[in-house]
Structure 1
């Protein structure tokens, strides 16, 4: 990494935002399409989590303290996530004009859909910016329709609490991007394929979307308390149901039942000590637990004995 002399930020590069490109406008007004740059947003997001993991591991293992201090100092100098002129999450370090605003890749939304760097609760403005990005990505009828894109749209919408939009992506994935045996596929033309080709991304991603719609577990501070949201993106079509054995961050397992769109009960089993805050609609409850604790909550998050 190199240090930007103007901002002091540590930058990666040369790098790309996978398969996407942008325009640079010259003094003569002509546009040149480029893809290689310094510190695309996906680099920053992955490094921020990687650095946090390294610092946390060094602390837990009581080792490499000097290295951990260097990593922590570097983490503090990473560029911030930024909102562009359209209200979207910037995909690159600078607010370049996107060559394909509708591109199938959503790599820079990883801060929301696979990380705790962006969330509705803690960084609402950045969460809103990712919502704008999702809408811009779907701004053309001829969007390149890929199974992993459907999964990523669904994951992001689930974490934004947009239940019906997340459910629509699941319906599209199962109904139009899967074989009769429910294995997901990419359509002809993708990667030069002449016919539908099985790609497992849709199966893994689709299962993750369904899980995220029913329960969201985040650890904003690695090693700290867990935030658990129950039924955060429950669509009308799923107004009644139950799940068992949902594994959560914090080394927890959840069984849950709901009826008429409302929580009936949630049962947690803890496999190691920790603490969590459980959220359901406008209610919240802080709980500390020990290994082997069993905790059952009712519709109002009241603890049942």
Structure 2
């Protein structure tokens, strides 16, 4: 992040450097999606190979001496370890480059990063952290941060521009000087991530369900891959669900400790009981 400075071993303080983790995460996502799109269209074979070659040469994620996910090319000190920005966690959310199941060591490093930063942050950053904790399958933390996002804040509090603890105004706007709708969008996205996660190939139902929500129902939730889900749960487990796919293809669904693969026709609905 350009607002979160590093300090080199020689004491130099800076905010940009080659090989930043956030930059590489974005490049990695761009290359992968471009290759996937070209394959689906059956075009640009040579260009696909060029991108794949470049993708293979990108610097991988690294874990720092604190057990955290490194933000910079070198394992430098942060000027503020509790800074509200977590740009280097893009690979965890919204991307799917880091996950509890596929990259457990990196997921643990992302967890350590969030633990070091602490829970206090601005509104938009708080909204993002709900999603990050949900991706780490930490229902307890996701719910805790969600409740923090909904903490009542009087508009009078934010007349002091130094106030940076987030919350929600009486009109349900995210509290931040000035107002930023990112916190509202992040909060609703976080609820969805607690109830369902999907990377387009595998869908996980109730991956980070907090104990405070033992039973509930959600309808019309959308998932990556052009899916629509209706979901009912009781006693912390899926009791009924329907998944409609707008496209033909296969989807693996994880629920109640089970793993099942469904084959869809375009417009078909599958039921889970």
TM-score calculated relative to the size of structure 1: 0.82
Match of 1:234 in 2: 209
Match of 2:122 in 1: 146
Q: Which has the higher contact order (CA 8 A, sep 6+)?
A: 2
Shift of 1:260: 2.2
Looking at CA atoms only, which structure, 1 or 2, has the larger radius of gyration? 1
The CA distance in 2 between the partners of 1:215 and 1:18, in whole Å, is 32
1:184 equivalent among 174, 183, 197: 174
Pairing 1:217–2:217 present: no
1:205 equivalent among 180, 186, 193: 186
1:165 equivalent among 141, 154, 157: 141
Pairing 1:22–2:6 present: yes
The CA distance in 2 between the partners of 1:297 and 1:60, in whole Å, is 29
The CA distance in 2 between the partners of 1:105 and 1:279, in whole Å, is 32
Pairing 1:277–2:258 present: no
**SS in structure 2 of the partner of residue 152 of structure 1:** helix
Match of 1:10 in 2: none
The CA distance in 1 between the partners of 2:22 and 2:256, in whole Å, is 31
Cα RMSD over matched residues?
A: 1.4
The total of aligned residue pairs comes to 259
Structure 2 runs not aligned, ≥5 long:
153-166
Q: Give deviations 1:106-162, integer Å, cap 9, x for gaps.
A: 1111101111110011000000100000000118xxx5x311111121111101111
Match of 1:11 in 2: none
Q: Give deviations 1:237-263, integer Å, cap 9, x for gaps.
A: 111110011111221110010112221
Structure 1 runs not aligned, ≥5 long:
1-16, 188-196, 220-225, 299-305
TM-score calculated relative to the size of structure 2: 0.91
